[in-house]
Amino acid sequence: MRINDERLHRHFEALSRIGATDQQGIDRPALSAVDIQARTWLQQRIETAGLEYRMDAAGNQSALLTGRQPDGPRLLLGSHLDSVPNGGRFDGALGVLAAVEVLHTLSENNYAGDIVLEAVNFTDEEGSHVGLLGSRAMLGQLAAEDLANPFLGRRAFEAGLQRLGLNPDDLFAARRSPSQLAAYLEVHIEQGPVLAEAGDAIGIVTGIVGIRRQTFTFQGMANHAGTTPMDRRRDAGRAAATFAVSAWQTVAQAYRDCVINIGDMRYHPGSFNVVPAAVAVDLEMRAADETRLKALHQQLLAVAQAQASACDSTLACGPHEHLGPVAMDEGLQALLTQAAQELGLRYRKMASGAGHDAQSFATVCPAAMIFVPSAGGVSHCPQEFSEWQDCLNGVELLLQAVIAFSAHQ
């Protein structure tokens, strides 16, 4: 049994036109008018395939394929149709199309397994309003406080939900019983350069990195920028700048398995002619290994403290946000490995540096992900590109994995 390449490609091209930008990118933020257009397209795609269509209280759209047992455990295949502003055509879209195509193919081949197959388009994976909204709502991982401060404000969020006929108070009703979930599988572009540079066809994801975020505020003293001698300044700007350089060196030298990002620095009072009194530095750290992530965090705190002292400043640390790494299921990884070998696809095991709906599932049921190469390793931009053969390989692997999974239940 193989995927219908022509049909999959045709659907990819059609979907790529919804929210298309001048530079061949996609601008399809969750719950926007364009997102609704993509959702309508998907519903038609599902219904034309003869699959059962549903949408839950969180706006997650599903295609269902039932075999011998209509109430059997479910294998979910999913991703997201929403994009970041001015994003790419492949991120998320490939995974949703893959999931529906796999169900369509199995349906044409008179699927008669014991598990129910469900292809899902999750609401707002990218966090235009609330990150991983749909998958978290489905798994009961959404709290009322998560909805209090949507990224674009509460009014925009409610207006978006209204476009779908949804009510914010009802989102929690999307919750499913974990006992119903047999497993979760997702195809996604890598969004990094590893597979393409190594010439590998497939990435079998071992886990999704943990993230720590904290704002470090260096405090010095505001003073006249013309009359204060250089050696007499308590310059918070100098402390922040030397910290940024030292943090970069620390990771390059001793934490090659981690990444950091200083995404913003805010100067106070922020003027040409005033020595900065305070600089707030937004630091994010990611690693697949929790112990290493914690060690890096401690090390960077020490580096920040040392740079503050060296610049006659002090350090104040904001509360830190912490999302632990999640491991993908070993059994599913083994199943994907075998399927990749049987298809003759060169694969590598790798961690995902980006967050995905799969991380919501990993704590509830066995979950795994298939990565396909990203040309140039770029993503979340119009230049995002994957060779079609690479995309097709990922979808073929998903199909074979689903067949193997349902045979072993």
Give residues in contact with Zn ion (CB under 5 A): 91-92
Q: Which is nearer to Zn ion, 132 or 403 (CB)?
A: 132
> Is the Cβ of residue 72 or residue 78 nearer to Zn ion in the bound state?
78
Q: Is 187 helix (H, G, I), strand (E, B) or coil?
A: strand
Strands 202-208 and 326-327: antiparallel
- Location of structure tokens 């230049």: 383
Q: How far is the CB of 110 from Zn ion (least distance, A)?
A: 32
Minimum CB separation of residue 322 from Zn ion in Å reads 22
For residues 76 and 371, give the distance between their C-alpha atoms in angstroms, rounded to a whole number: 17
Residue type, 141: Q
For residue 98, the minimal CB distance to Zn ion (Å) is 13
Question: How far, in Å, CA of 382 to CA of 216, rounded?
Answer: 33
CB of 125: closest distance to Zn ion in angstroms? 6
Q: Which is nearer to Zn ion, 95 or 113 (CB)?
A: 95
* Between 35 and 91, CB nearer to Zn ion: 91
Q: Is the dihedral of CA 197, 201, 207, 208 positive or negative?
A: positive
- Nearest approach, Cβ of residue 328 and Zn ion (Å): 16
In whole angstroms, what separates CA 151 from the centre of its chain? 16
Q: Which residue is nearest to Zn ion (CB)?
A: 92
Query: Which residue, 124 or 235, has its beta carbon nearer to Zn ion?
Result: 124
Q: Are strands 74-79 and 181-189 parallel, antiparallel or unpaired?
A: parallel
Phi, psi of 10 (to 5 degrees): -60, -40
> Would you say 92 or 150 has its CB closer to Zn ion?
92
Residue 180, CA atoms < 13 Å, CB-side half-sphere? 11
Please, which residue, 79 or 333, has the CB nearer to Zn ion?
79
216 closest CA partner among 287, 265, 252: 265
CA distance linking residue 304 with residue 243, whole number of Å: 6
Work out the angle at residue 65's Cα, subtended by the Cα atoms of residues 26 and 45, and round it to the nearest 5 degrees.
35
Q: Are 184 and 76 in contact (CB under 8 A)?
A: yes
Minimum CB separation of residue 134 from Zn ion in Å reads 12
Smallest distance from Zn ion to CB 382, Å = 15
d(CA 109, CA 68): 14
Provide the minimum distance between the beta carbon of 321 and Zn ion in the complex, in angstroms, as a whole number.
20
Distance CA 372, CA 91 (A): 11
CA–CA distance from 405 to each of 75, 114, 309 (Å)? Answer: 9, 10, 58
> Closest distance between Zn ion and the C-beta of residue 123, in Å?
13
Q: Which is nearer to Zn ion, 65 or 397 (CB)?
A: 397
Q: Which is nearer to Zn ion, 219 or 386 (CB)?
A: 386
